[in-house]
Chain A
Amino acid sequence: MSTATVPPRASIVHAVGRSTIGFVGTVGDLVLFSLEMLRWLLRGLPRRSVVLQNMYEVGVRSIPVVLITGLFIGMVLAIQGYAQFALLKMETRLGAVINMALVAELGPTLAATMLAGRVGSAMAAELGTMRVTEQIDALRALGANPIQYLVVPRFLACFLLIPMLTAIADGIGVVGGWLLSTTSLDIDSTYYWHHSKAYVTAWDVWTGLLKSMFFGAAISMIACYQGFHCGAGAEGVGRAATSAFVLSFVAILVLDFFLGMFLNELYRTIWPGPASFV
């Protein structure tokens, strides 16, 4: 009688288990990769020219796309919110809603999404191409540490400049919402700003900018990790670029949720009492 063992049939449980192990492994690798980056960051800053070049690419060249999206999102908020507020005869409070939504949520997430799409995927593709063409090995062979030379400047550029992009998105969105509200929707400008001032606090603005720094850090680390671990050939580079954007977008939303919860709790701890707007 045959004693050969029959391999277990792959079921949905196996597939879920494999995916979970793969996901946990990837997150663990990403954390180790980030710690390695921090280790090299603490050892010393990379050459100024390399950092400035990355800052130009990440910060300056992202301004046009952030300006356009910020302007339109402010105007869209005005159009969408106006009908609801008009029903309640509270049109003048539209400014508070638009500006609050922009500085607390939409500005940071919009700037981060633009950064993930424009810079994150390009970073992953560039580093992926460097990997498959052995340029990363060449760096190592020429006495440079690839993490210090490639990852640290990209991290610094994203981490330090995303608040600037967020501030631009906030500012232009506020202007867009105000322009549309006061010109097309005939809302009085004085009341518009009066209500905005009453509800939007410095806390909302600063926490929005603070959140964006977490988004910037996550985008740069995910993009660099994907680039450094991309598969062979053009297909591998393409996958790395796509994964960098998708994972960054998911990370932005997940981080936004947890940071929002944490910051709300912090606000209530510092200033107990009802929330300022609701």
Chain B
Amino acid sequence: MTSPSATTQHEPFDHPFTGDEFGQPIIRLDGVSKQFGGHEVLRDISLTIRAGDTVCLIGESGCGKSVTMKLMASLLKPTSGHVLWDEVPIDERSDEELVRDRLRFGYLFQGAALFDSMNVFENVAFGLRQNTKMSETFMRDIVAQRLMDVGLTPATADKMPSELSGGMKKRVGLARTLALMPDIILYDEPTTGLDPIMIDVINNLILKTRKRRPVTSVVVTHEMTTVRKVADRVVMFYPLSRLQPGESQIVFEGTPEQAFDSSDPRVWQFVYGEAGERMQEFAA
């Protein structure tokens, strides 16, 4: 188990994850619940993400997948329970340690969340400028390289986010995420709203990123093609409002093959996109 001092010595560009840690718990949710006002979204979730894994979180809209991912990155605080990074609860870290350790995470937001007031270069360079003292020339080289990594030409750097298509925004968002060379990449619906070709481009980028260097990935998605292509493990969430008393909100955890072969109607209806008896609810 990693000691607290070991985790707090992490610096940007000095990543401890070399690949030797494969299989070690890197993020753990321990009995986590989350409420917004009086609205309960997550109840008593326990989930472990192991180093080097690519885990897909699936489930109906509104069942708490994105909230789970924000809890993992400490962008939200749990109402109860604990989130642990390298087996150390994040609430034991000071503000400064939290800001620094959060740099181990790259987060690709659902709508890319590019800063409207900045051009593509400034967006991709933001994390570098904020956390390093590198020269402008070196930064330009890194930004150009990251843009090429995601299939964009360096000329894109001068464009504003409003001039980009949905697919380009996602790719710029990915370039910004990759600029700080994170150990753990969290993808929040990276393919939603994209055409099938662009979905495959993004899926391949996820795979390419993992092949290039050892990273842990968590992907929230509704796309079963993404699950088939990138996932080592699938975790399915179910809305609290539909659970029977005493049931866990995580209704499935296993490989993609096991998900597609599942006999649980909640799982196979979702993975095969069949409403089944749920149609009656909407017909009523």
Question: Once the chains bind, are B107 and A138 in contact (CB under 8 Å)?
Answer: yes
Q: Does B164 contact A (CB under 8 A)?
A: no
Q: Does B51 contact A (CB under 8 A)?
A: no
User: Out of B70, B99, B103, B180, which one reaches A137, CB within 8 Å?
Assistant: B70
Interchain CA distance A141-B130 in the complex, whole Å: 11
User: Out of B95, B100, B105, B110, which one reaches A141, CB within 8 Å?
Assistant: B105
Question: Once the chains bind, are A143 and B75 in contact (CB under 8 Å)?
Answer: no
CB-CB contacts below 8 Å: A182-238 with B? none
Which A residues are CB-close (under 8 A) to B100?
143
Chain B, interface residues (CB within 8 Å), range: 20 to 34
Q: Does B116 contact A (CB under 8 A)?
A: yes
Q: Contacts A137-B75, A137-B107, A138-B107: A143 and B113 contacting too (C-beta < 8 A)?
A: no
CB-CB contacts below 8 Å: A117-155 with B? 129-130, 133-135, 137-138, 140-145
User: Out of A137, A143, A145, which one reaches B127, CB within 8 Å?
Assistant: A143
Chain B residue nearest to A140 in the complex (CB)? B75
CB distance from A233 to the nearest CB of B (A): 13
Which A residues are CB-close (under 8 A) to B103?
143
Interchain CA distance A138-B114 in the complex, whole Å: 8
Q: Does B12 contact A (CB under 8 A)?
A: yes
Chain A residue nearest to B110 in the complex (CB)? A134
Chain B residue nearest to A135 in the complex (CB)? B113
Chain B residue nearest to A136 in the complex (CB)? B113
Question: Once the chains bind, are A134 and B111 in contact (CB under 8 Å)?
Answer: yes
Which B residues are CB-close (under 8 A) to A143?
12, 99-100, 102-103, 127, 130-131, 180
Question: Once the chains bind, are A134 and B130 in contact (CB under 8 Å)?
Answer: no
Chain A residue nearest to B70 in the complex (CB)? A137
CB distance from B37 to the nearest CB of A (A): 11
Q: Does B171 contact A (CB under 8 A)?
A: no
Interchain CA distance A130-B105 in the complex, whole Å: 21
Q: Sorted from nearest, which 6 A-B pairs have the closest CB atoms?
A: A138-B113, A141-B107, A142-B127, A134-B113, A143-B131, A134-B109
16 more contacts with CB within 8 A, not counting A142-B176, A145-B99, are A130-B116, A133-B111, A133-B113, A133-B116, A134-B110, A135-B116, A137-B75, A137-B109, A138-B107, A140-B75, A140-B102, A141-B75, A142-B127, A143-B12, A143-B103, A145-B95
Instruction: Show the binding face of A for B, using Cβ within 8 Å.
Output: 129-130, 133-135, 137-138, 140-145
Can you offer 29 A-B residue contacts whose CB atoms are under 8 A?
Answer: A130-B115, A130-B116, A133-B113, A134-B110, A134-B113, A135-B114, A135-B115, A135-B116, A137-B107, A138-B109, A138-B113, A138-B114, A140-B75, A140-B102, A141-B73, A141-B102, A141-B106, A141-B107, A142-B130, A142-B131, A142-B180, A143-B12, A143-B99, A143-B100, A143-B103, A143-B131, A144-B126, A144-B130, A145-B99
